[in-house]
A and B are shown apart, each in its own frame.
Chain A
Amino acid sequence: MQLNLSKEKLIEMYKKMFEIRCFEEKVFELYAQNLVPGTIHLYAGEEAVAVGVCSNLRKDDYITSTHRGHGHCIAKGAEPKRIMAEILGKKTGYCKGKGGSMHIADFNVGMLGATAVVGAGLPIAVGAGVSIRLRGTANVVACFFGDGASNQGTFHEAINMAAIWKLPVIFVCENNVYAMGTRHSTVMLVENIADRAIAYGIPGVAVDGNNVLTVYEAAQKAVERARKGEGPTLIECKTYRHKGHSRIDPAKYRPKEEVEEWLSKDPIKRFKQKLLQTKVLLEAEIQQIEERVSAEIEEAVKFAIESPHPSPEEALEDVYA
Chain B
Amino acid sequence: MRKVTYKEALREALREEMSRDPTVFLLGEDIGRYWGGAFKVTKGLAEEFGDERVRDTPISESAIIGAAVGAAITGTRPVAEIMFGDLTALAMDQIANQAAKIHYMFGGQVEVPLVIRTPFGAGVNIAAHHSQSLEGWFMHVPGLYVAVPSTPYDAKGLLKTAIRGSNPVFFCEHKLLYPMEGEVPEDEYIVPFGVADVKRKGSDVTIVATLYMVHQALNAAKELEAEGISVEVVDPRTLAPLDKHTIIGSVKKTGRLVVVSEDCKTAGVSAEIAAVVAEEAIDYLDAPVKRVAEPDTPIPFSPPLEQYVIPNEKSIIKAVKEIA
Is chain B found bound to chain A in the same assembly?
yes
Chain B residues within 8 Å of A320, by CB: 103, 143, 145, 166-167
- B226 interface contact, C-beta 8 A: no
**Given A113-B102, A153-B62, A321-B167: A127 and B107 within 8 A (CB)?**
no
The 4 closest A-B pairs by CB, nearest first: A123-B66, A127-B70, A95-B107, A157-B63
Chain A residues within 8 Å of B73, by CB: 107, 112-113, 124, 127-128
> 1/0 contact trace for A92-128 toward B, CB 8 Å?
0111111100010111000011010100101111111
CB pair A99 B106 closer than 8 Å: yes
CB pair A135 B143 closer than 8 Å: no
- B68 interface contact, C-beta 8 A: yes
- B25 interface contact, C-beta 8 A: yes
CB pair B109 A131 closer than 8 Å: no
Q: Which of B30-38, B91-99, B150-158, B269-277 contacts A (4 or more CB under 8 A)?
A: B91-99
**Given A126-B63, A134-B23: A96 and B112 within 8 A (CB)?**
no
Chain A residues within 8 Å of B109, by CB: 94-95, 105-107
Chain A residues within 8 Å of B22, by CB: 134
Tell me the chain A residues, 151-175 only, with Cβ under 8 Å from chain B: 153-154, 157-158, 160-161, 164-165
CB pair A161 B58 closer than 8 Å: yes
CB pair B58 A157 closer than 8 Å: yes
Q: How far is the CB of A104 from chain B (nearest CB, A)?
A: 8
Q: How far is the CB of B205 from chain A (nearest CB, A)?
A: 33
The CA of A126 and the CA of B64, in the complex, are separated in Å by 9
| Interface CB pairs A-B, < 8 A, 10 | A62-B74, A94-B106, A122-B63, A123-B69, A127-B70, A130-B67, A157-B66, A164-B58, A320-B103, A320-B145
Q: Which of B49-57, B116-124, B250-258, B303-311 contacts A (4 or more CB under 8 A)?
A: B49-57
Tell me the chain B residues, 96-147 only, with Cβ under 8 Å from chain A: 97-98, 102-112, 142-143, 145
- In this complex, the interface size class of chain B, counting residues with CB under 8 Å from chain A, is 35 or more
The CA of A127 and the CA of B97, in the complex, are separated in Å by 16
Contact of B52 among A99, A129, A133, A157 (CB under 8 A): A133
Nearest B-chain residue to A135, judged by Cβ? B75
CB pair B107 A117 closer than 8 Å: no
Contact of B106 among A113, A117, A126 (CB under 8 A): A113
CB pair A105 B106 closer than 8 Å: yes
- A317 interface contact, C-beta 8 A: yes
- A8 interface contact, C-beta 8 A: no
- B83 interface contact, C-beta 8 A: no
The CA of A105 and the CA of B145, in the complex, are separated in Å by 23
Q: Which of A120, A127, A158 has the most CB of B within 10 A?
A: A127
- A318 interface contact, C-beta 8 A: yes
The CA of A106 and the CA of B316, in the complex, are separated in Å by 52
Chain A residues within 8 Å of B106, by CB: 94-95, 98-99, 103, 105, 107, 113
Nearest B-chain residue to A110, judged by Cβ? B74
Chain B residues within 8 Å of A99, by CB: 105-107
CB pair B63 A154 closer than 8 Å: yes
Chain B residues within 8 Å of A190, by CB: none
- B72 interface contact, C-beta 8 A: yes
- A132 interface contact, C-beta 8 A: yes
The CA of A232 and the CA of B142, in the complex, are separated in Å by 34
CB pair A131 B76 closer than 8 Å: yes
Q: How far is the CB of A200 from chain B (nearest CB, A)?
A: 11
The CA of A64 and the CA of B98, in the complex, are separated in Å by 13
Chain B residues within 8 Å of A153, by CB: 62
Nearest A-chain residue to B91, judged by Cβ? A123
Nearest A-chain residue to B94, judged by Cβ? A123
Chain B residues within 8 Å of A317, by CB: 108
CB pair B74 A103 closer than 8 Å: no
CB pair B103 A131 closer than 8 Å: no
- A198 interface contact, C-beta 8 A: no
- A319 interface contact, C-beta 8 A: yes
The CA of A98 and the CA of B70, in the complex, are separated in Å by 20
The CA of A261 and the CA of B108, in the complex, are separated in Å by 44
CB pair B93 A120 closer than 8 Å: yes
CB pair A124 B98 closer than 8 Å: yes
CB pair A130 B55 closer than 8 Å: yes
Chain B residues within 8 Å of A96, by CB: 107-108
Contact of B107 among A98, A124, A161, A165 (CB under 8 A): A98
- B176 interface contact, C-beta 8 A: no
CB pair B103 A321 closer than 8 Å: yes
Chain B residues within 8 Å of A97, by CB: 107
Contact of A161 among B63, B105, B108, B111 (CB under 8 A): B63
**Given A98-B105, A120-B94, A320-B167: A158 and B111 within 8 A (CB)?**
no
Chain B residues within 8 Å of A124, by CB: 66-67, 69-70, 73, 94, 98
- B19 interface contact, C-beta 8 A: no
The CA of A257 and the CA of B142, in the complex, are separated in Å by 48
**Given A126-B66, A134-B76: A117 and B93 within 8 A (CB)?**
yes
